[in-house]
A and B are shown apart, each in its own frame.
Chain A
């Protein structure tokens, strides 16, 4: 039958006369075989929150060992410290942002589904496989800092698998925004989080392949005489430094901007300026060009770090202004969101100080940078911890803020408020313990205390992550799925169908004519009543 042919109504139906009842898929079949973006997104969020909590406990152990030098076996400690940043980034922070995007972006842009949902499902399972392989590799002495040459390739290979999986996932999200937006919604009207995910996708897809290329060359280079403590790590170290480390935090700005406008129920003034700020932050976090140490003493490098700080400041300042102008009630999620962006701003500020210090010849300030492979504390290590802290805390905040679209019920306000102080103290201590060691170069007890302080910070952020993870698990399992009448934001995800439904929206959406369709609807209803 050709495309233009129409089947005759009189023709005998090819369908069986009586439909046989289909067996209900089991929980395992539903889980493994799903191509529903909401299920995939929830799995990503829950798993990455749990992995983040575990990786932060490992980070705490690493810090305590660095301080005391006696907690762990020396070999184990070397592997733990060298591999932990990859766990924190690729097994926790990156997938946490991706999971939220896989779930929320199609709802925010009014799409019936995620683009290429089976590819997104594949990305979830490939990523999970990568996390398992990576953990096996470093536990079995075969990843960075290890001694087992037979298992040498497994660690970098699993990092490559995780990076590829994340690339596939973020590609699906970006295509959804470009090709599956609801009618009338231009790219300039796209909610901030969805817009930030487009920027994120561009940056991840241009940075992670460079990481893959570094791993590929190393895999080919010296398979027999591999040095897991030297060259192998040097090839990927740039990924843990600024500006590349900031690519994980691009969605933090989008989430915060949406959270502020939604909580305040107030339109963002200068919508395009905030979008431009997010895009600029993305642009300045492109770090694939700065893979060698010499790049760090160039003017362009310094300009990138200053640009990062300014762009973040524009977005955070504009969003905070919206919060101030609107009908804002203090909530745990917004409090945690504020903690997250303040932490991120501090991380960019440290970047500026470091870049100014290393510009030209020599260092302007005392600046011990620290290194994961040498297990030394310092400013670069602390900066990465701040970025990870900001991302994990924002992930937890978003889980609470969007709990109704995510799980069908609202997480009690008190839970978020109770975790907010832990998030604030934790995120700051986690990074600043290391940063102060880098600038102050203390020795003896002060050094020990500062690294223990950093460990305490890691545990507190881990607590926040675990709290959000538990709330997410309970939400996914035991959520009441009650439809709350109150709409909590101006964007489309707040009128999405209950998570238990198969369709994203119960009814076809009306033509969208601005970034806040629900606020438009409210205002037109109010005008109608007043007439």
Chain B
């Protein structure tokens, strides 16, 4: 599954980085402490966070993420959008809680272990 398919499936709004929508999604991660995310997020994941600060783009590049999803209707900072465009990191927005979106994505197979 790629970022675009997830975006369409959950009607996420693309705030930046539309050039990166073809990226393959290999898993997911939730976290708002960037030090934790830098240490633990899996490569190729979609990352669900409420942090809109520009540092999220650097963290996404570092962990080679597929996309960042801002949850809870949190807006990205203007600098975040600029940096995401430069790095082609999709910044998507979701109006409700990370819990709900993570659960629905997991049920769809994102980040779940392969069957058998």
Chain A partners chain B: no
